[in-house]
Structures are given as structure tokens and as C-alpha cells.
Amino acid sequence: MSTHVRHPIWLPALKAADARTFASLYAVESFARATVSSVIPIQAYEILHNEQIVSMLYTVVAMLGLSVTLFMPMLIRRFARRWVYTAGACLLAVGSLFFVTDTLAGQLAGMLCRVMGASALSITLNLYIMDHIRKTDFMQAESLRMAWSMLAWTGGPTLGIFLYTRFGIYAAHGTVAVFAFGLLALFWTYRLGDNQSIRPGKTRPVNPLANIGRFVAQPRLRLAWLIAFGRSCFWTTFFVYGPLFMVITGEGKLAGGLLVSAGNALLFMAIFWGKAGKRFGGRGTMTFAYFAMSAALLAAGFVGETVPLLTG
């Protein structure tokens, strides 16, 4: 046995997790979500034939999704982040199975899976970011993350509508499943290396139900919530009613997908806004952005259905 030599096994080493790591994860996740972002409201409208009932459906899904989101910290403590992230990606794929049934029950279940999956992915990814990105680099890292997702949110909505109208419901939602499993493969590839991203995160979320009072008592947290809430209201309105607006006014489904893609194409400005925030401060930059967005929305509301393309 003295002649037996055990050669070393060279394992590929990954770099420590950095801004590009999370930007790439978010980009693939964005493809999984963006591809059917314009398809889902149109599909719901084709099932219900009433935009007000579609609004009620989204409200029900949002309330159910909120209850799940509130208990997400407990799931993370119980099962660890990597498994919650994995479950989030799987929920996106499972949601596609429900959507292809083309029924009201399947639509509700698919939308709920999509909301829960997005919540799990967002919360766990943000926790990883807080562990690996320094506070001084956070604004630039977020700019990079948004810029990388630009391709998904620009091309995804139009791609999904194209697949839905040309090849049918299975093609559109099947593409989501492919991206979801691709996201899983990328995530576990990053976590196989001997680097920071393989270690359990240090930041542990607390139960929000036990800290609502403390949260509300802090002005800065109230402001942060209001900013996030306002931004989410805008994006939800844009993604849901933008495509519906184009369909109802006779511009067609493809126009709805193009509208969402065109709006998301401006995500490339994230790099510019990151530099502006660093130079002028986050407060001034966000104040200007919200005033500009309010003016644009008021103008769109004034034009309304008279000139749909101008409103878009």
C-alpha cells in the first residue's frame, strides 16, 4: 500500500458573495416573475370578464399573501433561509401549474403561490444582502441589482404576452417554471463554494407581530414603510391596470405587454439614480422622484381613455 497515492481533489472555489452575486440572483428571479406579469391580469379578465371583480381578486390574494408574509420570519427560523428561498422558487413553478388550468380556482391558487414565492425570495435575499453588503456600499449595490434586472422587466412582459397569444397558455407559464428552476440551480451553485454565502446568515428577523408597536413608534420606520407602500401601490397599479387598460380601450394584449416593458425599460436609470443619491443624498433624490411621478400620473389620468397610447 506504500505505492498507493491519494491525489488531492481540486474543488472549484467561488468568490465571496458580493453585489454581483445578488444582482444575478435577482435578475433570474425577475425573469421568472416578469414573464407573466402582463399575462396574469389579462388571463384573470378573460375568466371574470369584469375589471372590478379582477380588482377584488387581487385584493383577496394580497390579504392572504400578507398573512403569510407576516409569519415568514418564523419559517426562516424553523427551516433556515436556504430552504425558504428554495421553497419560494418552487412556489413560482407550482403557481404555473395552477395557472394553466385556466379556471377561477386555478387563477386564485396560482396568484397566491406567486405572491408567497415572491415574498419568500424577497425577504431571504434581502437578509443575505444585509449580511454581505456593507452599509456604505448598499446604494450602489441596489443600483446594480436594479440595473441587472432591467433586461428581465423590459423584455419579460412582452415575451410573456407574445408566448400567450402566439403559442398558448402552456408556453407562457412553462417559461416561468424554466426560469424558476434555473434560479434554484444558480442559488445552490453560489452556496456550494467555501465562502461567506455558504454560511448561515447572522441577521435573524424577529416576529413582526410582537414588534408592531415599537415599529409604529419610530418616525423613520414609519417613513420607510410609507415610501415602500407608495412605491408598491404604483407598481401594482401599473402591472395590473396597464395591460387591462390597453385591452379594454381596444389597443390589444400585445400593447399591454409593450406598455409594461416600456415602463420597466427605464430601470436602466437605476445606475444614474444611485449616483444622484450618493451626490445629493437619498432624501432629496427620493423627494424629487415622488413629485415627478405624481405629476406624470396626474397627467396620465387627465388624458385617460381619450388617447390610450398617450396615456400609456
**Contact yes or no for 200/112 (Cβ under 8 A):** no
Cα angle 101-84-40, degrees, rounded to a multiple of 5: 30
Closest CA to 125 of 82, 160, 166, 168: 82
Report the alpha-carbon distance of residue 159 to residue 308 in Å, rounded: 22
3-class SS at 277? helix
Report the alpha-carbon distance of residue 52 to residue 29 in Å, rounded: 30
Report the alpha-carbon distance of residue 179 to residue 164 in Å, rounded: 16
3-class SS at 40? helix
Give residue limits of the domains in the chain. Answer: 19-311
Farthest CA pair distance, the chain: 88
How confident is the model at residue 94, as a pLDDT? 95
Helical H segments across the chain, by residue range: 19-34, 39-48, 51-70, 72-79, 81-99, 104-132, 138-148, 150-166, 169-190, 212-216, 219-248, 253-265, 270-280, 282-303, 308-311
How confident is the model at residue 196, as a pLDDT? 45
Q: What is the pLDDT along the chain (312 residues), one digit of tens a residue?
A: 445 545 444 445 556 666 778 888 888 999 999 899 889 999 999 999 888 898 889 888 888 888 787 788 788 888 878 888 999 999 999 999 999 999 999 999 999 999 999 999 988 888 888 777 776 667 677 777 777 788 888 888 889 999 999 999 999 999 999 999 999 998 888 863 333 444 545 555 555 666 777 888 889 889 888 888 888 888 888 888 889 999 999 898 889 889 988 888 887 777 788 788 888 888 888 889 889 989 999 999 999 889 999 998
**Contact yes or no for 19/145 (Cβ under 8 A):** yes
Q: Is the dihedral of CA 56, 57, 61, 64 positive or negative?
A: positive
The three-state DSSP-derived secondary structure of 209-264 is HHCHHHHHCCHHHHHHHHHHHHHHHHHHHHHHHHHHHHHHCCCCHHHHHHHHHHHH
Which is the CATH superfamily of the domain at 19-311? MFS general substrate transporter like domains (1.20.1250.20)
Find where cell 410573456 sits. 160
The CA–CA distances, whole Å, from 275 to 112, 141, 182, 245 equal 37, 11, 32, 34
Cell numbers at 231, concatenated: 412605491
**Contact yes or no for 37/260 (Cβ under 8 A):** yes
* Mutual angle of helices 169-190 and 150-166, in 10-degree steps: 150
3-class SS at 95? helix
* Mutual angle of helices 270-280 and 138-148, in 10-degree steps: 160
How confident is the model at residue 198, as a pLDDT? 42
Amino acid at 188: W
- Counting Cα atoms < 13 Å in the Cβ hemisphere of 103 gives 6
Instruction: List the end-to-end C-alpha distance of the chain, in Å, as a whole number.
Output: 77
